[in-house]
Structure 1
Amino acid sequence: MSGSSGEVLLEVTGGVAVVTLNAPQRRNALTPAMAGELIATFDEVDARDDVGALVVRAEGRSFCAGGDVQTLTDAGRDPAAPDAYAGMGAIYDSFYRLGQVKAPTIAAVRGSAVGAGMNMLLAADLRIVARDARLICGFLKRGIHPGGGHFVLLSRLVGREAAAAMALFGEEVDGETAVRLGLAWETVDDDAVDARALELATRVAKDPALARTAVANFRKETGPPGVSWEIATQFERPAQMWSMRRPTP
């Protein structure tokens, strides 16, 4: 990408876009500038009709340590100050934008994910997590109320009880527990996370048009918020009819 700092990388192969958080020196903590690059990258992915899946991964020992400490410190002085407000908004928008990517998305999670880093993985459609991953909400420990719709994102996967344990009472979750709670589809060894995520992404990316149509309705039906079975039927019917009338890929 032109004008990129190199903190967000994009590679597209075989219909799969791989977006890499590449600021390992600060454990991929999100600055407003990095968040802006993420948003621009997701826009670039959406502009390509040949992309049928997206994997978000990270370099280094952490998936994402949340919001950058300096950004949070600056915001803490005067959260309503225009620069601070816009900076935090950019961080919120980065993971919200991931949730709007037109193709199915997978988070390949190695190391720790904290705060906004949790929101980033929660925004994806599916998660593959390392066995020794550390999934930590962490907002209250920092003396900060959760942001970015954290309670909604977390509880839609793990339910109210586990969301309370993690977000309010500070419980930390590893890969095995994440799968048990429904927070991840699968847990594998650290060095196998990326390969497993790519395997799944490559499967759905074989038919990009169908993948994009299916995931759009998947999100509408499953939420947040979810919809009734009757409404889901109406969402699915035109998409299914479209898929049946196409030439078979």
Structure 2
Amino acid sequence: MGKIGFEKKDGVAILTIDSPEVKNGLTPDMGRELAGFCDEIDGDMSIGAAVVQGAAGTFCSGADRRRWQPGSDQAEDKTYKESGAVYRAFTRVGKLTVPTVAAVRGAAVGAGMNLALATDMRIVAKNARLISGFLKIGLHPGGGYFTISSRTAGREGTAAMGLFQEEINGERAVEIGLAWKAVDDAEVEALAFELASRPAKDPELSREATRSFRAEAETGGMGWDAGLQFERGIQMWSQRRRNSS
């Protein structure tokens, strides 16, 4: 059975999707475990950032399809709740109070793409495979894929991947704004951790800045004048805090 690895290092929480026999497919139990670790991160003020990665050189192949029951009623209560546990996993990552980085090696497919898109920033291997994948297996996209993809890849990239089944590598992901940097496979996790360790040096300030970033950068967020006023009080708090330290 798969599990979620969890460790803390220098103020950074590292969450690892670990079911390599199915290329890190997520089960409902793993979804619940991941959400529980997110609660733990939010409650630990010594943590100032988080990295999400996959075990054994791949990110996440989506939902673990061994648990699927072809022909079963997906709206049946137990089945509906089980799939909801997977969805809640990546929505919970997206609501962490600390900044998050996905370290994407190998493949990110379906729900695995959603998990990567739930983070604030992505570091990808040049040869990573990023695949929406839903239509290829006869499914409508789920988990709010179109919403979270369009925030980064834009309308064109989201249409190409979500409707027209385009697969892209890490370098193309950077070109369309889906990721920040593409590096050699062996460098991905180290770079993701190095970036996360910067805000992690000041967890309290990191959390305040993350809250502001998401409120202002959200699609259809706020205008510039509103953003100025929104940030002003928090910046004054940080100045007083800095001067008194």
1:16 aligns with 2:16: no
**In the alignment, which of 141, 147, 150 is matched to residue 136 of structure 2?**
141
Residues 80 and 39 (structure 1), Cα distance of their counterparts in 2 relative to 1, 3 Å cut: same
Partner of 2:89: 94
Contact 1:75–1:88 at 8 Å: present in 2 too?
Answer: no
Shift of 1:75: 7.5
Runs of 4+ in 1 over 3 A off after TM superposition: none
Tell me how far 1:132 sits from its aligned partner: 0.6
Partner of 2:65: 69
Q: CA deviation at 1:79?
A: 1.2
Give 1:169's aligned residue: 164
1:235 Cα deviation after fit: 2.1
Residue type at the aligned position of 1:185: W
Q: Report if the CA contact (8 A) 1:74-1:84 is conserved.
A: no
Distance 1:75 1:246, change over 3 A: farther
Q: Among 203, 227, 234, which residue is 1:239 paired with?
A: 234
- Across the aligned residues of Structure 1 and Structure 2, the Cα RMSD in angstroms comes to 1.4
What is the CA distance between 1:226 and its match in structure 2?
A: 2.4
Alignment deviations for residues 164-197 of structure 1 (CA, whole Å, 9 cap, x no partner):
0010000001011011010110001111001000
Alignment equivalent of 1:179, drawn from 155, 171, 174: 174
- Separation (CA, whole Å) in 1 of partners of 2:219 and 2:105: 26
Q: Does 1:82 align with 2:107?
A: no
> CA deviation digits over 1:88-122, x for unaligned, max 9?
11111100000111110000000000000000000
TM, length-normalised to structure 2: 0.96
- Per the alignment, do residues 101 and 76 of structure 1 end up closer, same or farther by CA in structure 2, a change over 3 Å counting? farther
Aligned to 1:57, the other structure's residue is in SS state strand
Q: 1:66 to 1:245 in 2, by over 3 A?
A: same
Cα distance, 1:224–1:99 mapped onto 2, change above 3 Å: farther
Q: Which residue of 2 aligns with 1:216?
A: 211
Paired amino acid for 2:28: P
Q: Provide closer, same or farther for how the CA distance between residues 201 and 34 of structure 1 changes in structure 2, counting only shifts above 3 A.
A: same
Q: 1:119 aligns with which of 106, 114, 130?
A: 114
Higher mean Cα deviation, 87-96 or 236-245?
Answer: 236-245
Give secondary structure in 2 for the equivalent of 1:195: helix
Q: Distance in 1 between matches of 2:228 and 2:216?
A: 9
Separation of aligned partners in 2, 1:67 and 1:43: 22
Deviation per CA, 1:197-233: give whole Å up to 9, x if none.
Answer: 0110111111111100001110011114422222222
Contact 1:109 1:129 in 2 (8 A): yes
TM-aligned CA deviation for residue 247 of structure 1:
3.6
User: Which amino acid counterpart does residue 207 of structure 2 have in structure 1?
Assistant: R
> Is this contact kept in 1: 2:2–2:27, CA < 8 A?
no
For residues 12 and 26 of structure 1, the distance between their equivalents in structure 2, rounded to whole angstroms, comes to: 26
Question: Identity of aligned pairs, percent?
Answer: 50
Normalised by the length of structure 1, the TM-score is: 0.94
Partner of 2:127: 132
CA distance in 2, matches of 1:212, 1:127: 18
> 1:49: which partner in 2?
45
**Equivalent residues of 1:75, 1:85 under 8 A apart:** no
Q: Number of aligned pairs?
A: 244
- Deviation at residue 62 of structure 1 after TM alignment: 2.2
Q: Which of the numbers 218, 224, 231 marks the counterpart of 1:229?
A: 224
